[in-house]
Homo-oligomer: A and B are copies of this chain.
Amino acid sequence: MIIVLKPEAGKETADEILSDIEACGLKPLHMPGKERVVLGALGDERVLGKLHLENHPMVESVKPILAPYKMVSREFKADDTVVNIGGVPIGGESFMVIAGPCAVESREQMLKTGEAVGKAGASGIRGGAYKPRTSPYSFQGLGLEGLRILREVSEKLGLPTITEVIEVADVEAVEAAASAFQVGARNMQNFRLLSALGEIRKPVVLKRGMAATIQDLLLAAEYIVSKGNPDVIICERGIKTFETAMRNTLDLGAVPYIKAESHLPVMVDPSHGTGIRELVPPMAKAAAACGADGLLIEVHHDPASALSDGKQSLYPGQFEQLMKELEVFVDASGKKLSRPG
């Protein structure tokens, strides 16, 4: 860690901070320049957090040398983590496509859509029972009944499932119903929820928050992993920017960036990332091309009647077409499409 002192800082300030650094077990360094005095601390600087050097009235800035996350980093673990979702691998050389409606609306809807996506080649089904909605007047999900439907359809079709959990109180019920948890963008920094999921042994798909930097995202993953659950899949799903033509700005550059920084698998959700049905297939291919390990795609057997996100949901025929065209992009990226069971 590098600590830059204000121009007006005196020798006592430098001495005080240097001895604090030494007391933490790090090697202190003194670099007196003509314009600024700069101090250094060599070693695992994460222990310096408790000194709160950035608070010091004579400190101009603090520049970390190391990333603030540890267990999720490639430096900590060099080889790719492969996560198993209900028997299907994702990560390493395995590419997994999970598809289904935004929300579980009825048994019939889940069955029809699940059959269609399974037949087209998806190796997992998605569907939300608890829906965080911007307006209190919108459909909020079927809750426990939705979880029950999801489980039934999963068993009937032999496909693993993923569904969103929005509160600690629901963790147990979701764990019983689905093959993996999804943490939505609005809950990426619900640290109580992340910690609870760290104590479970089912995979977690962690979606990037709409205003979250990649560093924030990896620190959120670190919450889960550091509490004991290594099976985290990062999901890029678009961020908020000034551009309003699409629902979000899909930050595909984050995929190779995170893959270089972390050993965790990375999925992409082109449905939320664009918000427009017609843009989902090209962005799904682009995600595979830049090294993603999987896709999360909204499909509905009848998008025009969908209770949420219909505008970004593919028709079954569009999804089937996409799966046919996708394979060459997955192969060219050195991966293989995972198959269920």
Contacts and interface: CB of A to CB of B under 8 A. Distances in A.
Interface of A: 2, 4, 7, 27, 29, 31-36, 38, 40, 42-44, 46, 49, 52, 54-57, 63, 65-66, 68-69, 75, 132-138, 140, 166-169, 186-187, 189-192, 195, 209-211, 213-216, 219, 222-223, 226-227, 239-246, 249-257, 260, 273-274, 276, 278-279, 282-283, 285-291, 303-307, 310-311, 313, 325, 328-329, 332-333
A286 B38 contact: no
Contacts of A227: 136
A211 B209 contact: yes
A192 B167 contact: yes
Nearest to A43: B34
B250 A63 contact: no
B305 A55 contact: yes
Q: How many copies does the complex hold?
A: 4
B242 A257 contact: no
Given A328-B332, A332-B328, A241 B244 contact: no
A337 to B, nearest CB: 15
A214 B245 contact: yes
B289 A54 contact: no
A52 B137 contact: no
A288 B43 CA distance: 43
Nearest to A38: B65
B132 A191 contact: yes
Given A279-B256, A305-B52, A135 B222 contact: yes
Contacts of A192: 166-167
